[in-house]
Structure 1
Amino acid sequence: MAVPDTGQTMARQLYAAATGDGDGQPFELAADVAENLAAACDKLVEDLHRAMATGQLVTDVTGFPNLPTGQGLSRGFNEKGRQYLDTLAAFQETALLFKAAYLAAGKRFADAEAARKAALDLVAEHSAAR
């Protein structure tokens, strides 16, 4: 399962606007504003990473009786745990894509591209671990 769209499309559109690839007026930010917004995105990614550290707890649900209904409950809760982790990964990707857009709007294109690469790497790593 791919990570759900939690705003990645909008972040990509904002990035396109900041790099001049979008329709209409380019999106620009003062360098200090772009840096502050990027730092907030980094903080969010770190917080979400800590939340994902509980992954085994939400994807390895046990304790139900060894009966068909108990096994079904275990499978269902395990899948919900995986969906939770997919959503957290999606929010991380979104935060990194917004970071890239903010940095591009502040004319820090190398840093913006690094943030975009980090978003791609994060999704690839999450998909491989699944």
Structure 2
Amino acid sequence: MNQKNDVCRHRLMIARDTLEVIQGKWRLPIIISLNHGNKRFGEIQRDITDISPKMLSQELKALETNKIITRTLYDSMPVTVEYSLTPLGESMRKLLDEILNWGIHFRKEILETSIDN
């Protein structure tokens, strides 16, 4: 084995770790929603209109397990639960900006290709 292969394997492992945290249809939209401020469950669901309550609950738990978000219970009547990004979740802002910028570029390219054909 050479050093290039070791570097490649290490980078692939890191990429898999990253994708494990953000994979799927819903995690990035949830993170993007919380990137705009702390929110209650219903507020997140209003942002992401096509997610079921069960799926939102599962994904919030997964993001909390991975320390991307935090869940805060407020002692009120009724009990209020609020979700927010942790410092680790906030550290994804640059990544989110890059993904969104690439998405804008991708949509533009696809639309231009569709129009040209």
TM-score by length of 2: 0.33
The structure richer in strand per residue is: 2
TM-score by length of 1: 0.30
| Higher RCO by CA contacts (8 Å cutoff, separation 6 or greater) | 1
The structure richer in helix per residue is: 1
